[in-house]
A = this chain, B = another copy of it.
Amino acid sequence: MEKPGKLLIGRRRFMLAAAAAPLATTLPFAQAAPHDPLPSWRNGTAKKAIMDFVGTVTNTESKEYVEPENRIAVFDNDGTLWSEQPLYFQLYFMIAQLKEASPRHPEWKNDPVFNALMTGDVNAIVKQGVKPALELLAVANAGMTTEEYGRKIDDWIHFARHPRFNRPYTDLVYQPMRELLAYFKANWFKNFIVSGGGIEFMRAWARHAYDIPPEHVIGSSIKVEFAMKDGQPVLNRLPKLDFIDDGAGKPVGIYRNIGQRPIAAFGNSDGDLQMLQWTAGGKGARLLGLIHHTDRQREWAYDRGSPIGLLDKALDEAYAKGWTVVDMARDWSRIYRFE
Contact = CB atoms under 8 A, between A and B. Distances in A.
B23 A13 contact: no
Contacts of A14: 13, 17
A235 B261 CA distance: 11
Interface stretch (A32-40, A273-281, A327-335): A273-281
Given A226-B274, A251-B226, A9 B13 contact: yes
B259 A203 contact: yes
Interface in A4-28: 9-10, 13-14, 16-18, 20-21, 23-24
Contacts of A216: 215
Nearest to A251: B226
Contacts of A146: 255
Nearest to A243: B256
Given A21-B21, A69-B207, A215-B190, A252 B226 contact: yes
A214 interface: yes
A199 B259 contact: yes
Range for the number of chain A residues in contact with chain B: 35 or more
A278 B17 contact: no
Contacts of A72: 215
Nearest to A231: B281
A258 B215 contact: yes
Interface in A228-253: 228, 232-235, 248-249, 251-252
A256 B221 contact: yes
B17 A21 contact: yes
A174 to B, nearest CB: 23
A100 B195 CA distance: 38
Nearest to A70: B213
Contacts of A278: 226, 233, 235
A16 to B, nearest CB: 8
A76 interface: no
B252 A213 contact: no
A214 B255 CA distance: 10
